[in-house]
Amino acid sequence: MTHKATPTGGDRSIALVAHDQMKDRMVEWAGANADILREFELFGTGTTGGRIADEVNLPITRLKSGPLGGDAQIGAMIAEGRLGTLIFFTDPLSALPHDVDVKSLLRLATLYNTVLAINEATASAILSSLDR
């Protein structure tokens, strides 16, 4: 028996977030998965959201930059049950000046049992399993 992941509360929204060193990979991944991503309501933090909109031509609601409140905006969406999936390409080799914000966001995603990917392989697996 296979299990299809369903965003919490039946929500059809996905947040796309990437650390600076991972933005190129996120844009490439979003481009490769654009047809599927178009079926969902997309949110992205600052530069990541802007690059996905401009370079991949996907409709995406841009939030604030992560360190300027974007991570908190996504955290609030999770806590309020308005976000079904968080795809957050993290860079494990770079120190983050806003590491506390990142940890808070990941903690909320875990606490509220939000579908979560922190790398490309997991993001692709999740995307292929979401009910469309």
pLDDT of residue 23: 94
The DSSP 8-state label assigned to residue 118 in this structure reads: S
81-100 pLDDT tens trace: 999 999 999 888 877 666 78
Least confident residue range of 42-51, 54-63, 94-103, 122-131: 94-103
The answer to whether 99 is a known catalytic residue is no
Q: What amino acid occupies position 72? A: A
Mean pLDDT over 32-37 rounds to 96
Among 8-12, 57-61, 117-121, 128-132, the minimum mean pLDDT is found in: 8-12
Going by C-alpha positions, the residue among 89, 82, 81 that lies closest to residue 124 is 89
Q: Tens digit of pLDDT for each residue in 6-24?
A: 444 447 999 999 988 899 9
Q: Please write down the long-range contacts of 107-111, taking CB distance under 8 Å and 24 or more positions apart.
A: 108/75, 108/78, 108/79, 109/78
Give the pLDDT band (50/70/90) at residue 132. low
* The one catalytic residue among 11, 20, 24, 71: 71
**C-alpha span between 41 and 43 (Å, rounded):** 7
CATH topology of domain 8-129: Rossmann fold (3.40.50)
Domain ranges of the chain: 8-129
Hunting for tokens 């609601």 — which residue is that?
A: 61
Residues 126 and 117: beta-carbon distance below 8 Å: yes
The candidate with the shortest Cα–Cα distance to 19, out of 109, 106, 108, is 106
